[in-house]
Structure 1
Amino acid sequence: MPLKLREWLQNDFGIPVAASSTVTVFALANVSSNTAKQSSSVRYFDVAVGDVGVGRMIFRLFDDVLPVTCENFRALCTGETGLGYWLRPRWYQNTRMYRIIPGFMCQGGDFNFGNGGMGESIYGQFMRNERFAFSHSKRGVLSMADAGWEHSNNSNFFITFGPQKHLDSKHVAFGAIEHGMEVLDAIEKVGTIGGKPKRPVIIHKSGELNVDLLRREAIEANEGLPLGSEEYVERSADSWGNPDPEIDDDDVYCMPERLTMPDQYSPVPDHLFRRAKAQWDNQL
């Protein structure tokens, strides 16, 4: 395996890989290729601390490996599924980060009561742990916050402030901050040891952006600059959200699968499915 790829797997995801190891890797060629269809859009939060906007966080989701979990987060970013069980919008917009512990993580996603007690997935109240494919090995990892028992994921999520490997195989990490780490810094500053924020932290806007449109806007913003010049590259990166202009789109890798997923996969925990089916059968 190439040295660069081994170091990436080791440093970013905490996976030790021998030089002779063979790992299946999904390479993303460009946004128009079939392998990159799920990466043609980015998900974002616009965050305010108190009454001051502190910026936008853009997330990269590992939807090629965790499609069920990532679709839940994506749909809750856009609010497209409408009202939930408590007749409140299933939407992250205008919700709070209700738990912030410096050095550990910030938690949000409860659009029902705003305290983490009543989250709700797009598949029902709870959804199962899809797969423990990624490590909480760095700052900015996006992961599912459950209700305290197995297969109780809902709309609640958390973002790490640093490596938290003790959470591996307990919580499903399904994405990471790709741009806007300074927003995470601002969130961490208002945290407390007990978790109650010093000031309200609000996701005042959430949604999905089309990468192709962002690229076109970047090109328009660079009219008149020499193609390939340093200023052109830097302005292009700033315009569509790439934090590092040195990163080549052709050199992006997704996490290799480590578990085999069944062809027919239900996000609903087995015991809830059996209970609902039994109740339905008794009504016939």
Structure 2
Amino acid sequence: MSEIDKSDLLNLDLASGRVVIQLRADIAPLAAERLRTLSAEGFYDNVAFHRVISGFMAQGGDPTGTGSGGSKLPDLKAEFTRAAKFERGTVGMARTQDPNSANSQFFIMFEPSPHLDGQYTIVGQVTEGMDLVDKIKRGSGGGGVVTDPDRIVKMRPASAEA
């Protein structure tokens, strides 16, 4: 990642404060454009982090809060890479078993997860506010489903808030 382009930054506001995500359009241009587009439309406002697993990740981006919803836009082609790894703060695109099924859902890593490398699209990296991500309410059981989950207050491209 070289010089930061403000159009590649998303401001994700939680009740506890702001998280800044730098999109990785260099390795996942389709997914980066999808998050930028949906954020600009207000799609993520009041959307829950419906699946949160301690030591693994926080997943959100489903307007239904069930883990099976998405946007009205078509699913995305997988943009897997070995050039980047799933480290703490990495933002990936959630999908079903079909590699080409990512749509609007994304997840933020709490810890490195090398088993995801090359298997899921890396779309960004948290550059500010990871301490706030760490405080997102965790789910219970192996699936990490959250009762009364924390929500995204709003998410917008940084360039739209200038």
Q: Quick one: distance in 2 between partners of 1:116 and 1:211? A: 28
- 2:139 pairs, out of 183, 191, 201, with 191
- 1:119 pairs, out of 53, 70, 76, with 70
Deviations 1:167-186 (A, max 9, x none): 11110112110000111111
For residues 27 and 160 of structure 1, do their structure 2 counterparts lie closer, same or farther at Cα, with a shift above 3 Å needed? closer
Residue 46 of structure 1 is matched in structure 2 by: 13
Q: Quick one: distance in 2 between partners of 1:27 and 1:46? A: 25
Q: Is contact 1:190–1:199 with CA below 8 Å preserved after alignment?
A: no
When you count helix as a share of all residues, which structure comes out higher? 1
TM-score scaled by length of structure 1: 0.52
- 2:20 pairs, out of 54, 58, 64, with 58
For residues 106 and 70 of structure 1, do their structure 2 counterparts lie closer, same or farther at Cα, with a shift above 3 Å needed? same
Unaligned runs of 5+ in 2: none
Residue 164 of structure 1 is matched in structure 2 by: 113
For residues 168 and 121 of structure 1, do their structure 2 counterparts lie closer, same or farther at Cα, with a shift above 3 Å needed? farther
Work out which of the two has the higher radius of gyration on C-alpha atoms and give 1 or 2. 1
Task: Report how far residue 64 of structure 1 moved.
Answer: 2.6
Q: Is 1:97 aligned to 2:49, yes or no? A: yes
Deviations 1:66-93 (A, max 9, x none): 221100011111117xxxxxxxxxx111
For residues 212 and 148 of structure 1, do their structure 2 counterparts lie closer, same or farther at Cα, with a shift above 3 Å needed? closer
Unaligned runs of 5+ in 1: 1-25, 29-35, 48-52, 81-90, 214-284
Task: Report how far residue 44 of structure 1 moved.
Answer: 1.5
Q: What is the SS of the residue equivalent to 2:105?
A: strand
Q: Is contact 1:70–1:174 with CA below 8 Å preserved after alignment?
A: yes
Q: Quick one: distance in 1 between partners of 2:154 and 2:95? A: 23
Q: Is contact 1:145–1:156 with CA below 8 Å preserved after alignment?
A: yes
Q: Is 1:134 aligned to 2:101, yes or no? A: no
Q: What is the SS of the residue equivalent to 2:152?
A: strand
Q: Quick one: distance in 1 between partners of 2:122 and 2:115? A: 12
Q: Quick one: distance in 1 between partners of 2:158 and 2:76? A: 26
Residue 159 of structure 2 is matched in structure 1 by: 210
Residue 68 of structure 1 is matched in structure 2 by: 30
TM-score scaled by length of structure 2: 0.88
RMSD: 2.2
Task: Report how far residue 200 of structure 1 moved.
Answer: 1.8
Q: Quick one: distance in 2 between partners of 1:162 and 1:152? A: 24
Question: Aligned partner of 2:68: which letter?
Answer: G
